[in-house]
Amino acid sequence: MERLFGIETEYGITLENESNLDAVKQSIELIKSYRQEDFRPVWDYRGEDPFRDERGFRADALSNHPDEKEEAARDRERNKKNRLSFAEIKSDHILANGARLYNDHAHPEYSTPECKSLFELVAHDKAGERILQRCAETRSEHLGKRVLLYKNNTDLHGHSYGCHDNYLMARAVPFEKLKQGIMPFFITRQIFAGAGKLGIETEAGLATAGHYQLSQRSDFFHVEASVDTMHNRPIVNTRDEPHADPAKYRRLHGIAGDANMSEYATALKVGTTALVITLIEQDKIPESLILANPIDTIKTVSHDQTYRWIVMTADGKTMSAIDHQRQYLALAQKHLSGSEVTASLPETDWVLTEWEDTLNALERDPMTLVDRLDWVAKKWLLQTFAEEEDIPWNDAWLQSLDLEYHNINPDEGLYYGFPMRRLVTDEQIEAALHNPPSGTRAYFRGRAVDRFSAAIKAIQWDSITFTIKGRTHEVNLNALADAEIARRYNQTLDESPDVGTLIKKLRLS
């Protein structure tokens, strides 16, 4: 199949020189600033069930952060005072490019449209940054105070927020086989996919200042697999929301990754994961790759400042995380290079080449990847500054520079001062702001929103409900995971002058 994938990113939000921030309120108002005059709450939450577990049951409850009771009390008071409905709090926008923009409690979130090309996904991920930055500029003008947004994963006070990479895959793969194959890969993937962080953290706050590590998220994983995402986070999330035919597909909801500023790191992260999923579907991952003590290992790899990154397999052997990744790479080179299955990822050859080159460079000298990997670029920045200013690594000045690396304002964010390797042009990013990915169901969703938004009564990832002369007509998009069906639906949409014609043609097709 042509694999669909996407990224959901929660952004950190603050106000300049504001010490007592109501992040929930500011996140709501930021999202509302996106074309506020056109806002109608049409997102249909009936298709979402975060309690449904891929292992065949429905969880009774989800784990919450220890601060959640206090936060919930503040939410009740705020909502009572402002009389906000659930829809107003979420402020869901469905964009013409097929994406979703909404408030996820205290964080603005941008979910890219479904893509089947890596570079297309990179363009849409970067388009999300630009959309949110423009919202911040609009909100700042209205507020008279600057709104600052950060594409990172922690506030360094014990709260982590996510960047989730998602992949459509075959339902036929038993969950235990998926877990066995993907969890070790997630643990060692951080050597090239980590965004870097200054400090070791617990949910009580910063535990060890000045210790530079690979990943922003690794400190926050405490179980191997569960349906939770907010507390007691699992390395492998078991949420069962395929947003496609559940008899044929599941969606791997990956929560163990960082939010990347680097286009290269984003593409390598998603591309390698997509190939590993194909290997899992083909039952090519040996048990020898299973790691002992995964919860400890995801942290020790991230924390290791020697960059030896030693891991132990379940059968007692030790190796470097680089060699562990090389075993996944060798399997991909053997089974996927030049074969017909590469249709599932158009950029397979690029991924295999860059994967190998990156692992080799990490072994020789990680700092040679300063133009490609976030954790390397940030470390170079902090190390250079610390040496020039003669300050220790636990200096608060460095902590602020760490954060500013993730500032999405291109005129201020420190990432944008690096000559980072680009995979897409500014023109391609700008095009992704307004155009959905071709050949996907996101195209149908985005074009429907662009052309027929007034007739849309409800919408979600896998369906759109139109209203025509007082009657509702639901278009189910589950089947559009199939590329040929998506092509037919998209062509029908393009050829229909109005909603009535569209519905009629779809019923006849």
DSSP per-residue letters across 68-132: HHHHHHHHHHHHHHHT--HHHHH--EE-TTS-EEEEETTEEEEEPPPBSSHHHHHHHHHHHHHHH
Distance (Å, whole) CA 163 – CA 218: 12
To the query of whether residue 104 is one of the catalytic residues in this protein, the response is yes
Question: For residue 439, which of 7, 127, 117, 96 has the smallest C-alpha distance?
Answer: 117
Alpha-carbon distances of 173 from 78, 248, 284, 294, 468, rounded to whole Å:
45, 10, 12, 22, 41
Angle, CA of 232, 236 and 241, to the nearest 5°: 100
Angle made by CA atoms 206, 212, 216, in degrees to the nearest 5: 65
Nearest CA-CA partner of 486 in 432, 438, 440, 429: 440
Query: Residue 48 in 3-state DSSP?
Result: coil
CA distance 5 to 168: 6
Tell me the pairing of strands 221-226 and 233-237. parallel
**E strand segments, 274-391:** 310-312, 318-320
Phi and psi at 20, nearest 5°, equal: -115, 75
DSSP state of 313: B
Catalytic pick from 53, 92, 104, 125? 104
**Separation between Cα atoms, residue 63 and residue 129, nearest integer Å:** 29
Residues classed as catalytic = 104
